[in-house]
Chains A and B, each alone.
Chain A
Amino acid sequence: MVKGRTIWNFTAVVGAVALVGIVLGTVERSDAQPPDPADSTSAVVTGGYLHFPKILVHTTGDLANPALAGDDFAMDTVIQITNTSDVRVTANCFYVTAVSRCGSATGPVCRDDSECVPGIRCLPTWSSDDFRIDFTPLQPIGWSAATGLSILPCGIGGVCPGNPGQSGQIPVVSVDPFVGELRCIQVETDDDGMATGPTTDSDLIGKATIVESGPFSGPSEVLAAGYNAIGFQGVSSDALGTDACFGGAPAGANCGVTYTPCAAHLSLQHFFEGAETPAGFVSTHLTLSPCSTELEIGDVFAPSNRVVAQMLVYNEFEQRFSIAEPVDCVETQRLVDIDTPAGPSGDSSSIFSIGTQGTLGGQTRIRGVSDDSGFGRGIVGLAHQYFSASMGGTPTSSSAYHVNGELAAQPDPDAVYGPLFQ
């Protein structure tokens, strides 16, 4: 009896200690828990939804669009998407064009007001173009964004051992120069390869390399910056749904597939602008793209396509600076242009300048600010660095890397509004 009581008491003590320990542990590590394995939104996992936040093309231009000249670099993006499964897979893809145009959505492409007729402003525009890729088992497909693929490798005339037939083509991007992104979503298909609806299958990986050559006036450099597409894994599906949801179902969304969530906030590790590294002086271009979007709406300022990004900038002295920046559709800008006018004017006054911060590196935490619109405020980010031998000189090297993201609970889930699965 005494022994039994001792055991019970021991159990009680151990249990109580465990309870207290867990509670304390929970409190102590409330912000330090690793993500759930189901929350695998990452550049190193296979996904049912792929997001390439930065696609660039500028090969020549024409009379209506700015042609390459002077210090311009020609650029193209080599894209590769692979089906990692042993069965056929179909993906619906969407190029999102986010170029600026003079005066209206039909005006000539421009990069700033100086390329428009005097008195006409260079305005941001937005549109999307869709296409379908039919993958054979384990097939990798690659293409240049500037040229596309008129016939997929195992299509008409393609010599493939299994010869399952392969339909579809990959279009050329809608305009040259092109600035935008690519989103691809895996869909359910029938035996004929026709899309029939949503699926949680997550078999795709993607990789993009932005290749540049220049300057136009005397080419001497090749630049290559590669990055993996962000993959989102399917968690649940509804055969009647039309939209892609992330981390839950926002009000008004008809979720065909609910995927793992967008990051609640981003952490960009970067060099400050003008920092001198062994590879040269650094200039960083940051691309931010809202997770939520309405692909059928061509309004760049639509509430669904806009996120206000709040940024906290830390240097190596633990000093903190902050700034807020609206992000419409998908935007790329030099770090120092976030808080100063575009171009070199005012760069030295930027909080992203090494002259202001005084340290080589920094961390910028980025969070989409919630509002009452009902749209999610997740953001995907990509850093694209250029290195040159002198400050502001011709780039000699480039690289791209993902902005880190933490998968804490999002107050508002994100959604891409379709229809996406047909």
Chain B
Amino acid sequence: MRTFAVRPAVTAGALGLAFALAATSASAQDSYTVEQPTSVLIFPKVVNDEGRDTVLQVTNNHNVMVYAHCFYTDGQTINGVPRWTVTDFQLNLTRQQTTTWPASTGRPQNPSDDQNGIDPGGVPPTVDGFTGSLVCVQIGSSHGNPIGGNSLTGRASVAGADYNAVGIPGINVDGDKTLMLDGLEYARCPSSYHLDFVTPGSGGAVALGSMVGFGLGDAVATVSTSLTVVPCNYDFATFFPASVRLGFNPIVDEFENRNSVGTAEDVVCWENVQLDNAVFELGPSTFNTARVNGNDSTGAAAPFVGVANVLRVGGTSLGMDSATTNLHAVTGALADGQIIIP
């Protein structure tokens, strides 16, 4: 039997390893957010079509220079053929700097133009008819590699309907071009959400509150809901579009009626899913909740992000307006994803 005297260097080394492991464990944050600064931002809904435009805002929440590599993905379909094209650009944000641009015009690198503020680098305009998403990845320097600085927040205003960008916190970022959204390098994305919605076509109090009864509304005022979804997997190196299969199970109304729609939609790249009464076969209820579950082709849980859009149409003499909200994640329902950048 041999006895070894542990030397100070070894002790320090062992402690260092233990500390490193402990720190890794302690920082293994595994939840997406729409409020806190993160290292990856996903804007699931960016549109520039039919008179609608989107104003995007990205903010550096820290007191150091921050860089981001951003990717527009055009998910529009032309004559039944999806475009799935990717356009990238870089943002350079000084400390605490926020920057804004309309998707239709972008933001030229031109200090003398009418878009005041420090230009963050050239932001290209999107093409007419663009319907897709924007992803921004925090990088360590100009044209550098990804880092986990958790400095970015974002907001989008789609034709006057606002939502916060989905944020993916960096945890132990290794700096290579494949970002693993696995709960170790970056947080994972949800694979299931709670979606509260009203029965498509509902009117009355749901559409216009109590104002229908006061002569300010109209009995034909109605509500409709759609869900904008993008898979939480991106390959910006090969442009191969990811997909996710959506199921709605269960769907429950306020009278405890239960229903389900096994596969309502296969989302490839980007999709706006209209909640259709014929598909959902809802009863006379008004308020409903559904679990929206993402699966891959094998039936395994698949990650995705999205926003809900509610359109209120005010009837013959009134206009219309839409509201966009982020989705509630089902606690613990997460799945691994990845983002590959060139």
B30 contacts which chain A residues (CB < 8 A)?
37
A369 within 8 A of B: no
Contact of A140 among B20, B211, B253 (CB under 8 A): B253
B36 adjacent to A141 (CB under 8 Å): no
How far, in whole Å, are A363 and B327 apart by their CA atoms in the complex?
24
Q: Which residues of A contact B171 (CB under 8 A)?
A: 34
Which stretch from A73-81, A297-305, A322-330, A340-348 is at the chain B interface? A73-81
Cβ of A314 under 8 Å from chain B: yes
By beta carbon, the residue of chain B nearest A206 is B196
Tell whether A406 pairs with B254 under 8 Å between CB atoms, given A16-B16, A219-B216, A220-B318: no
Residues of B within 8 A of A278 (CB): 52-55, 102, 104, 159
B208 engages A222 (CB within 8 Å): yes
Instruction: Report which of A19, A80, A145, A406 forms a contact with B19, defined as CB distance below 8 A.
Output: A19
Q: Is the CB of A35 within 8 A of B256?
A: no
Min C-beta distance of B294 to chain A, whole Å: 16
Cβ of B16 and Cβ of A15 under 8 Å apart?
A: yes
Whether B318 and A142, one on each chain, are in contact in the complex, defined by CB atoms closer than 8 angstroms, is: no
With a 10 A CB-CB cut-off, give which of A35, A213, A279 has the most chain B CB atoms.
Answer: A213
Interface pair B36/A397, CB less than 8 Å apart: no
Nearest CB of chain B from residue A71's CB, rounded to whole Å = 13
Partner pick for B289 among A13, A138, A160, A269, CB 8 A cutoff: A138
- In the complex, whether A127 has a CB less than 8 A from a CB of chain B is no
Residues of B contacting A118 in the complex (Cβ-Cβ under 8 angstroms): none
Interfacial residues of chain A within 58-92, with CB under 8 A of chain B in the complex? 59-60, 74-78, 80, 82, 84
B-contacting residues, A221-253, CB 8 Å: 221-228, 231
A154 surroundings in chain B (CB, below 8 A) = 254-256
Q: Looking across the interface, which residue of chain A has its beta carbon closest to that of B320?
A: A222
Interface size on B, residues (CB 8 A): 108
A19 to B250, CA, bound (A): 49
| Mask: chain B, 56-72; 1 = CB below 8 Å from A; 0 = not | 01010111000000000
The reply on A45 being an interface residue by CB < 8 A is: yes
B224 to A: closest C-beta gap in Å: 12
Q: How far does the Cβ of A72 sit from chain B's closest Cβ, in whole Å?
A: 10
Q: Is the CB of B210 within 8 A of A76?
A: yes
Question: Which residue of chain A has the shortest Cβ distance to B23 in the bound complex?
Answer: A22
Judge if A191 is at the interface, Cβ distance under 8 Å. Answer: no
CB of B196 within 8 A of CB of A140, answer yes
Please report the C-alpha to C-alpha distance between residue A139 and residue B35 in the assembled complex, in whole angstroms.
Answer: 27
Q: Which of A109-156 contact B (CB under 8 A)?
A: 136-147, 153-154
Contacts of A404 in B (CB 8 A): 35-37, 61, 153, 164
Quick check: B217 and A213 within 8 Å, CB to CB? yes
- Residues of B at the A interface (CB closer than 8 Å) are 7, 9-10, 12-17, 19-20, 23, 27, 29-38, 52-55, 57, 59, 61-63, 94-100, 102, 104, 115-118, 148-151, 153-155, 157, 159-164, 169-171, 187, 194, 196, 198, 205-211, 214, 216-217, 221, 250, 252-258, 286-289, 310, 312-314, 317-331
